[in-house]
């Protein structure tokens, strides 16, 4: 079985369309699974939701999906994410919001494969080292005794973890063979929000018959997305980097103001 793994679309329909087109050409008929954060940051949340609905692509709930729905506060969110979440609430239709409401926290893809966004217990935990990976696998085993592969997203970095190989970040164009009789975590990377300055839409292909994962990165016309972000008065970036120096203090002030404004004006409480 070929399963295409996508995650962290973040309202970027240009990146999503590039990925879906590549999947159709590379592995036609493959099953597609989304590991959450369909919305947030990007200017086309509704279009991204409609793409998933039209192709019957199952997805789990991400932390930005939760924030848009008012199910998670903004205490751990950057300014760009807070601004986008509030804008997205006003932009989505009732039907699209209902779709987000219906997303599960965890999805059992097969008896052996389970998908979540962060960990099976919390969408907002970053699985980015061996310790957190082991904790996530313990949660997997407690809930799904037969499963041995966990798909997650959230970090925006493509990576794998197994007890044989340890934790490894994966570059586009590389493959990983899942060790026999081992547990494995797969993060396909972000479709719509890079974190390394390369402006690539990332996804992975899991070949269950050969126990192999292929990691891919596609170029797309990110300038179109940035223009849309400008028009929507959102933060015009598809590759948000961790702020440093003076920018870090400016970000902290903007984030504090956004949270205060939200508490003063939110219809969610």
In a domain, 117, yes or no: no
Q: Could you tell me which residue, 87 or 250, shows the higher pLDDT?
A: 87
Q: Could you tell me which residue, 20 or 197, shows the higher pLDDT?
A: 20
Q: Could you tell me which residue, 249 or 55, shows the higher pLDDT?
A: 55
In a domain, 242, yes or no: no
CATH value at residue 15 = 3.60.21.10
Q: Could you tell me which residue, 98 or 77, shows the higher pLDDT?
A: 98
In a domain, 229, yes or no: no
Collapse the DSSP code of 246 into the 3-class scheme (helix H, G, I; strand E, B; otherwise coil) and give the result: helix
In a domain, 128, yes or no: no
**DSSP secondary structure string for all residues of 21-43:** HHHHHHSTT-EEEE-S--SSSSS
In a domain, 21, yes or no: yes
CA-to-CA dists, residue 214 to 7, 111, 260, angstroms:
15, 21, 43
What is the tally of structural domains in the chain? 1
Q: Could you read off the pLDDT of 107-150 as tens digits, one per residue?
A: 999 999 999 999 999 999 999 999 999 999 999 999 999 999 99
Whether the Cβ atoms of residue 52 and residue 39 lie closer than 8 Å to each other:
no
Task: Give the model's pLDDT for residue 249.
Answer: 47
In a domain, 253, yes or no: no
Q: Could you read off the pLDDT of 176-223 as tens digits, one per residue?
A: 999 998 999 999 999 999 999 899 999 999 999 999 999 999 999 999
Task: Give the model's pLDDT for residue 200.
Answer: 98
Q: Answer whether residue 254 shows pLDDT above 60.
A: no
Question: In the chain, what is the straight-line distance between the N-terminal and C-terminal CA atoms, in Å?
Answer: 45
101: Cβ–Cβ under 8 A, 6 or more apart, which residues? Answer: 69
**Which of the residue ranges 116-130, 162-176, 240-254 would you say has the lowest mean pLDDT?**
240-254
Task: Give the model's pLDDT for residue 44.
Answer: 98
Task: Give the model's pLDDT for residue 265.
Answer: 55
In a domain, 125, yes or no: no
Task: Give the model's pLDDT for residue 244.
Answer: 54
Can you list the alpha helix ranges (DSSP code H) found in the chain?
Answer: 13-26, 45-54, 63-69, 79-91, 94-101, 130-143, 222-231, 245-265
Which residue range(s) make up the domain with 27? 2-104+157-219
| Proportion of the chain above pLDDT 70, given as a percent | 89
In a domain, 243, yes or no: no
| Sequence-separated contacts (24+) of 176-180 with Cβ below 8 Å | 176/212, 176/213, 176/215, 177/210, 177/211, 177/212, 178/149, 178/211, 178/212, 178/213, 180/211
Task: Give the model's pLDDT for residue 255.
Answer: 56
Whole-prediction pTM value?
A: 0.91
């Amino acid at each position: 079985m070929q399963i295409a793994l996508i995650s962290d679309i973040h309202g970027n329909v240009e990146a999503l369309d590039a990925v879906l087109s590549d999947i159709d050409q590379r592995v036609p008929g493959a099953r597609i699974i989304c590991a959450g954060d369909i919305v947030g940051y990007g200017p086309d949340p509704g279009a991204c939701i409609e793409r998933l609905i039209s192709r019957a692509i199952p997805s789990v709930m991400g932390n930005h999906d939760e924030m848009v729905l008012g199910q998670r506060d903004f205490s751990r969110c950057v300014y760009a994410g807070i601004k986008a979440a509030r804008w997205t609430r006003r932009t989505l239709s009732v039907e699209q919001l209902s779709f987000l409401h219906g997303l599960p926290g965890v999805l059992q893809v097969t008896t052996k494969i389970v998908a979540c966004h962060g960990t099976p217990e919390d969408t907002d935990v970053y699985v980015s080292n061996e310790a957190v990976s082991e904790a996530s696998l313990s949660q997997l085993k407690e809930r799904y005794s037969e499963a041995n592969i966990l798909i997650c997203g959230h970090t925006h970095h493509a990576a794998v973890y197994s007890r044989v190989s340890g934790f490894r970040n994966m570059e586009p164009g590389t493959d990983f063979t899942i060790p026999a009789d081992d547990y494995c975590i797969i993060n396909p990377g972000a479709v719509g929000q890079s974190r390394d300055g390369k402006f690539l839409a990332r996804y992975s292909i899991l070949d269950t018959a050969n126990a192999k994962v292929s990691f891919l990165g596609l170029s797309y016309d990110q300038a179109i997305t940035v223009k849309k972000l400008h028009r929507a008065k959102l933060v015009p970036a598809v590759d948000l980097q961790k702020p440093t120096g003076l920018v870090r203090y400016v970000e902290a002030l903007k984030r504090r103001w956004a949270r205060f404004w939200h508490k003063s004006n939110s219809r969610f409480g």
